[in-house]
Amino acid sequence: MIKKIAGEVWKQIQFKGSKTLRKKYAFSSLGRASSYHDDIIKDGKLLNGSLTSGYRTLNLHIDNANGTLYFHREIAKLFCKKTSPKYKYVIHINHKKVDNIAKNLKWATLEEMSNHQQSSPQKIAYKKIQANRTVGLKLNSTQVKAIKDQINNPKRKLTIKQIAAKYKVSEMTLYRIKSGENWGKVK
């Protein structure tokens, strides 16, 4: 039996293989999940699911199908309006991956999702720590300045691969230095 919460709406989910399961499954507008036989309130059981990369998931054993359901995606499908097919991703407005209330979810494009992730408090804190890090780095600021000068020189003779080998770093590190993702403070 599930306690009613004022304003909460439950909707049953349908997915490939759901008809073969012994129970029915539903998600609520307040981010809760339930399994039940006939009536969500009378014989329903709340499900906590598990965490996968910080997201709440429900793992169902379905023959010949992927049985992992992400709470936020299912709740968005049921309760959030998708204005265009280009909106394929679901973001948490408050950046909290376990806060799956329908009001906190929004459909987004890949670009919107990426921008949203970059503005998360955790990402900003990580960038701040990385910017001030001095221990465990393969390069120092003098080397990075020299690398930037070489990369941006239109008359350079060395390829990116050769520069990477010279400084014993990956080519990806050089591309990140060039774009400013890494060592952005060094001019």
Strand partners, 59: 68
Residues 106, 65 share a domain: yes
- Domain assignment present for residue 61? The answer is yes
Report yes or no on 164 lying in a domain. Answer: yes
Q: Report if residue 185 sits inside a domain.
A: no
Q: Are residues 151 and 112 in the same domain?
A: no
Query: For residue 22, is pLDDT > 80?
Result: yes
Is 1 part of a structural domain of the chain?
A: no
pLDDT on residue 41:
87
Rounded CA separation 95/141 (Å)? 33
19 with 111, same domain: the answer is yes
Residue 165: C-alpha distances to residues 150, 160, 172, 184 (Å): 14, 9, 12, 21
Strands 45-47 and 89-92: unpaired
pLDDT higher for 134 or 25? 25
Q: Which amino acid is located at 132 in the chain?
A: N
Residue 36 maps to a domain:
yes
Tens digit of pLDDT for each residue in 121-163? 988 888 888 777 777 788 888 899 999 999 989 998 999 999 9
Residue 117 has pLDDT above 80, yes or no: yes
Residue 162 belongs to what domain range? 134-179
The predicted pLDDT at position 64 comes to: 67
What is the helix (H) or strand (E) element at residue 105, kind and residue range? strand 105-108
Please say if the pLDDT value at position 65 is more than 70: no
Last residue of a domain, one of 86, 118, 150: 118
